[in-house]
Amino acid sequence: MSSIKIELRQEDVNKIREICDSFNNDHQELINILHKCQQHFGYLPAEVQEVVSDCSGIPVAKIYGVVTFYSFFTMTPRGKHPISICMGTACYVRGAEKVLDEFVKELGIKAGETSPDGKFSISSLRCVGACGLAPLVLVGDKTYGRVAPDDVKNIIKEYEEL
């Protein structure tokens, strides 16, 4: 599990309880509960999973099993400006890997990692379905279409000051 230990505040614990209650602590709703928790915390550290287990009565091992099975759930915090590079087939054949490499080079972190200052994180994702704009990069909610490796520096610059 993640190595960073975090302290949950009482209000965080209450929030998790509220989420679990809103789904009646139904075991079937585990994935929905985790979606809501991740929306709130940004990620799902072990501590959050433990509280979900306490509230819902679902064994923590099972929760961990579900969290690690689905790629949408993450146990490491993402950067303030999460950068996602689409690696769907259309983007791939139009050069997405070179774009990813350029981000990795410029930011000095690998895909799946977050920069030490917490500003950026890089991840690759599978097809957002805007293949007409391939290769595609998302920074937060903003989309950049037809990105060439040369554009990468400028994209990063837009967020460095923010």
Partner 1 sequence: MQILVCAGTGCQASLSEELLSQLNSEIEANELENDVQAIRTGCFGFCEQGPIIKIMPDNTFYTQVKPQDATEVIQEHIIKGRRVERLLFTDPETKEKIADSRKMGFYKKQMRIALRNCGFIDPDNIDDAIAKDAYEALGKVVTEMSPEEAIETLKKSGLRGRGGGGFSTGLKWEYAFKNRADQKYVVCNADEGDPGAFMDRSILEGDPHTVLEAMAICGYCIGADKGLIYIRAEYPLAIERLKTAIVQAREYGLLGKSIFGTDFSFDIELKYGAGAFVCGEETALIHSMEGERGEPTVKPPFPAESGFMGRPTNVNNVETFASIPPIYLKGADWFAKIGTNRSTGTKVFALAGKVNNVGLVEVPMGITLRDVIFEIGGGIKNGKKFKAIQTGGPSGGCLTEEHLDTPIEFDTLLAVGSMMGSGGMIVLDEDDCMVEVSKYFLDFTVEESCGKCSPCRIGNKRLHELLEHICKGNAEESDLDRLRNMSTVIKESSLCGLGQTSPNPVLSTLDNFMNEYLAHVIDKKCPAGACKELMNYVISETNCVGCTACARVCPVNAISGERKEPHFIDISVCIKCGACMDKCKFDAISIQ
Q: Which two tokens stand for residue 55?
A: 């509230």
- Dump the DSSP string for 40-60: HHSS--HHHHHHHHHHH---H
Strands (E), the chain: 81-86, 120-125, 137-139, 142-144
**Shortest reach from residue 5's CB to partner 1, in Å:** 25
Side-chain half-sphere exposure of 69, counting CA atoms within 13 A:
9
- Sites of contact with partner 1 (CB under 8 A): 26-32, 34-35, 65-66, 69-73, 87-90, 92-94, 125-134, 136, 143, 145
Question: Based on CB atoms, which residue is closest to partner 1, 79 or 88?
Answer: 88
- Smaller CB separation from partner 1, 21 or 72: 72
Strand partners, 114: 121
Minimum gap (Å) between residue 39 Cβ and partner 1 = 10
Residue 9: CB minimum distance to partner 1, A: 26
Q: Which is nearer to partner 1, 24 or 118 (CB)?
A: 24
